[in-house]
Amino acid sequence: MYDTGVMLRSRPWHRWVVAGAVLVGIFYLFPAVTFRPTTSTAIADTRFLTPAPLSNLPFLKELLKDNGLGPEVEFASRHLKYRRNAETRPPLSQIPNKLFPNPPQTINIETVTTLPQLLPPVTLAVENSPRPNEVDASALIFGVSTTYSRFNDDAAGPLREWKRWLTDGNGSSNGAALVLCLHEATDDQILLAQTKLEGVGIRATVQHSDSSLDMPGRYFSLINALYNHPSRETRSYFGLIDDDTFFPSIAALLSMLSEHDPSKPYYIGAFTERVDWMMDHKVPMAYGGAGVFFTAPVVKTLDDLTPTCLKKNPESGLYLEWGDQGDLLLYNCLHNHTEVILTNVPQLHQMDQFGDPSGLYESGELPLSLHHYKSWHRLAPEKVHVVTDACGLNCIFQRFQFADDWVLSNGYTISAFPRGIDFDIMKMEGTFDNGLAKNGVEDVSLSYSFGPLRKNLAGTGRKISWSLLDARSDEYGRVTQVYVKRRDDERWLAKDEPKPRLDSVIVLVWEL
Ligand SMILES: *[C@@H]1O[C@H](CO)[C@@H](O)[C@H](O)[C@H]1NC(C)=O
Ligand SMILES: *[C@@H]1O[C@H](CO)[C@@H](O)[C@H](O)[C@H]1NC(C)=O
């Protein structure tokens, strides 16, 4: 029986190569597909017309070359057929099939002329959630304050990510509006930003932020910008975000928000995940990076309170309400002058943990928001998100465990467990590193949010992970994901275990 160790340790599998060579010539034919969206918010989907054979080879050749992988690589691939007919989205779905019943092949990506493609697809059932082009987010308006140089920066700029959750993914708005207030921007730069956003289909209003205000003040004054937006009457939920806040499923976000009557006063957000910081700050406030949402009555109240709450002590220069951060100033303003209290939604994530974030991303949770993915940890959420073009917004980060104990955390990693899953996979893995060794709270800092964490498997040889390198979707609604494990990645080696000879590549293709 093929076990997961084969991808790492070399074993004689020549016979598989011979069998594979026979099968390589057999082309998998894509079935004709007719698709009718079934959600009420769905709009016409024109993508699923005449399926053509999929050629991932040129894409893969370029991608691996650009990333310095290969040319000789270990290669495995699987097609996943998704059915949008599951009742729920569980944190772990058991799949009766093996993901890789055959061992991987070795190919030279520079010289290969056709990709090995041997097996019939595995069928996965997912919840029927809308795709990015099937969701109506017009109940939402967001305010964000940043600098022009950050907005315009290729690496730090948010445009790639905003395209994923503010548009249909193909140049048109999903109905949500964005008010972008830019600090340190010329009139020309405001126009440039406006043009850039419109160019990708984002319904944006770009304006100068008030240069007389400091950072907390600029954040607070987003309330005024949202309140004065011409579309105010048509919006139900008003969000304040950071420029590195990402919403994996705008559909799931809407469904959470819709549990709160938009005509009643609501202040919705999330605490930090770190209980030590809660205790230090002593404030049950919504931490801004996770996204903070208000209903219209609260926006009105805060707008009325703005002159009061932005008053400073002329001598100290400090806000009378107290707050060196915008989210705290906002909380103090509400707390000091109203009866509005926070509705804490822990699925919104401020992401205050440091170190390897995979514990959370591999937990099977559908996070309602993500943050700090360009600073305290690294993630390219716009690549993770591509798979939602196929299996719908709520299949992002969904976890599937196959019969051979391979686990897919959709869009993030594929993991193998050479010794089997001999731990409680329903508990979150303690991959994080908050650098708390000195103050002795490492065991509780995150456990109030994430539950008691199980041991980190890195460096034990018990877990081997392939991480998403890139993904793309085509006009037939198919999504190709490329996951890689580099030969020099030491995280997956046991002590004294030699490094593998080759980089390793897994390609998954999602199709109807
Ligand atoms: C508002 O509340 C904060 C504590 O939440 C306090 O430090 C501050 O002095 C209060 N400001 C006013 C003007 O009441
Ligand atoms: C994207 O939009 C263009 C122009 O509106 C259209 O021709 C194309 O089919 C769309 N592509 C997808 C994948 O929906």
**Contact of 287 with 350, CB cutoff 8 Å:** yes
Q: Is 35 in the pocket of ligand 2 (CB under 6 A)?
A: no
Distance 320 CA to ligand 1 centre (A): 7
pTM exceeding the 0.75 threshold for the entire prediction: yes
DSSP string, 143-198: EEEEEHHHHH-TTT-SHHHHHHHHB-SSSSB-S-EEEEEEES--HHHHHHHHHHHH
Per-residue pLDDT of the chain (512 residues; tens, 9 = 90+): 333 333 433 333 334 433 443 333 333 333 333 333 334 333 444 455 566 777 899 999 999 999 999 999 999 999 999 999 999 999 999 999 999 999 999 999 999 999 987 688 999 999 999 999 999 999 999 999 999 999 999 999 999 999 999 999 999 999 999 999 999 999 999 999 999 999 999 999 999 999 999 999 999 999 999 999 999 999 999 999 999 999 999 999 999 999 999 999 999 999 999 999 999 999 999 999 999 999 999 999 999 999 999 999 999 999 999 999 999 999 999 999 999 999 999 999 999 999 999 999 999 999 999 999 999 999 999 999 999 999 999 999 999 999 999 999 999 999 999 999 999 999 999 999 988 777 788 888 999 999 999 999 999 999 999 999 999 999 888 999 999 999 999 999 999 999 999 999 999 999 98
The token pair that represents 12 in the structure block: 């004689």
Q: Beta strand pairing status for 413-416 and 464-473?
A: antiparallel
- For the CA of 320, the nearest atom of ligand 1: 13
- Of 311, 321, 331, the residue with max ligand 1 atoms within 8 A of its CB, to mutate for a pocket test, comes to 321
The alpha carbon of residue 487 and the mean position of all alpha carbons in its chain are separated, in whole angstroms, by 26
Helix (H, G, I), strand (E, B) or coil at 269: strand
Which pLDDT score, from 0 to 100, does residue 177 have?
98
Neighbours of 508 (CB within 10 A): 24
CA distances from 424 to 136, 318, 452 (A): 38, 49, 11
- The full length of the chain comes to 512
Ligand number, closest to the Cα atom of 133: 2
Tokens of 437: 């060794």
**For residue 237, which of 196, 269, 195 has the smallest C-alpha distance?**
269
Q: Around Cβ 491, how many Cβ atoms within 10 Å?
A: 17
User: What pLDDT does 23 receive?
Assistant: 38
Q: Which amino acid is at 378?
A: R
* Nearest-ligand number for the alpha carbon of 311: 1
390-87-40-368 Cα dihedral, nearest 10 degrees:
-70
Evaluated on CA atoms 42, 46, 50, 52, the torsion sign reads: negative
What is the distance between the alpha carbons of residues 177 and 238, in angstroms, rounded to a whole number?
A: 10
The finding on whether 475 has its CB within 6 A of some atom of ligand 2 is yes
Alpha-helical (H) ranges within 347-394 are: 358-361, 381-384, 388-391
Point out the ligand nearest to the CA of residue 322. 1
Is the CB–ligand 2 distance for residue 472 below 6 Å? no
| Closest C-alpha among 287, 248, 239, 229 to residue 266 | 239
Structure-block tokens of residue 212: 């007389």
CA of 51 to the centre of ligand 2 (A): 15
Give which of 115, 124, 74, 120 is closest to 101, Cα–Cα: 120
Which among 232, 253, 230, 251 is positioned nearest to 241, based on CA atoms? 253
Query: Which of ligand 2's atoms lies nearest the C-alpha of 170?
Result: 1
Q: Is 454 helix (H, G, I), strand (E, B) or coil?
A: strand
> How many C-alpha atoms does 497 have within 13 Å on its Cβ side?
22
CB atoms within 10 A of CB 212: 8
Give the CA distances from residue 480 to residues 139, 198, 379, 468, 508, in Å, rounded to whole numbers and listed in that order. Answer: 32, 28, 18, 11, 6
Model pLDDT, residue 50: 60
Query: Quick one: 101 exposed, middle or buried, by C-beta within 10 A (0-12, 13-18, 19+)?
Result: middle
Determine which residue's CA is closest to atom 14 belonging to ligand 2.
47
List the beta strands (DSSP E) in 355-478: 370-371, 399-401, 407-409, 413-416, 464-473
Residue whose C-alpha is closest to residue 392's, from 277, 252, 287, 508: 252
List all residues whose CB is within 6 A of at least one atom of ligand 1: 320-322, 332, 335-336
One-letter amino acid of 337: H
What is the residue with the minimal CA distance to atom 13 of ligand 2?
475
Task: Output the residue whose Cα is nearest ligand 2's atom 2.
Answer: 170
Residue bearing tokens 């109807």: 512
- DSSP label at residue 432: B
Residues 388 and 132: beta-carbon distance below 8 Å:
yes
CB of residue 47 inside a 6 A radius of ligand 2: yes
The per-residue DSSP string of 453-500 comes to PBPP-TTTTS-EEEEEEEEEE-TTS-EEEEEEE-TT-GGGPPTTPPPP
- Domain 132-344: state its class: alpha beta
Judged by DSSP in three states, 15 sits in: helix
Residue 160 CA to residue 381 CA, distance in Å, equals 9
Nearest ligand to the CA of 318 is 1
